[in-house]
Chains A and B, each alone.
Chain A
Amino acid sequence: DAKTTQPNSMESNEEEPVHLPCNHSTISGTDYIHWYRQLPSQGPEYVIHGLTSNVNNRMASLAIAEDRKSSTLILHRATLRDAAVYYCILRDTGNEKLTFGTGTRLTIIP
């Protein structure tokens, strides 16, 4: 599986936008970029995914670089409930398993 690189931790102030980066320089043409987050004592929760174009949903936006070697998850207005570990995962359409790294631990400062 192609590998992703994320910062170990980030902090953001409440009610401000958060940009969580992910590098995936060895991404292949059939890899989708998926983001999950894991709140304390919970299982991972699907956030968003994309292939080439930027994507928006009710939870977040995903900005994908033109060369697809990096992406950024954008939380438009962070709340305390967004404090979690965020995982950036590459998933080929023919591959059923998700390969998680150690993710980015996001702390929200009130």
Chain B
Amino acid sequence: DTGVSQNPRHKITKRGQNVTFRCDPISEHNRLYWYRQTLGQGPEFLTYFQNEAQLEKSRLLSDRFSAERPKGSFSTLEIQRTEQGDSAMYLCASSLLRDRAVGYTFGSGTRLTVV
């Protein structure tokens, strides 16, 4: 297992364009999380899935953001009509429900720059 994989690693887009990021979690992990991190700050929670069900969304996740996890495997995070304030690192993490006391495994993130 190669851990949590995120693609692309970097994305530069023009303001107003739509972007989509992909996260492939560790295969047996049934929980998947999205976080956002801006420069100099710690990661902020966006949303999480248990299998294919999206169980919690942060108020940070505006209506321009949508996340999916079809079939409970990989997940996508789409941002529509990007704004310069969306520039950040988008991190994905996964965990196994039955090991609740164990930490999450994070990917290396997708760095988004909106110009």
Contacts and interface: CB of A to CB of B under 8 A. Distances in A.
Interface of A: 32, 34, 36, 41-47, 49, 85, 87, 93, 96-103
A87 B56 CA distance: 23
Contacts, number: 54
B41 interface: yes
B48 interface: yes
Interface string B32-70: 010100001111110010000001101000000000000
Contacts of A93: 100-101
Interface of B: 4, 31, 33, 35, 40-45, 48, 55-56, 58, 91-93, 100-109
A44 B45 contact: no
A87 B42 CA distance: 8
Contacts of B35: 98
Interface residues of A: mostly helix, strand, loop or mixed? loop
Given A43-B91, A96-B55, A101 B108 contact: no
Contact of B31 (A44, A47, A49, A96): A96
B75 to A, nearest CB: 15
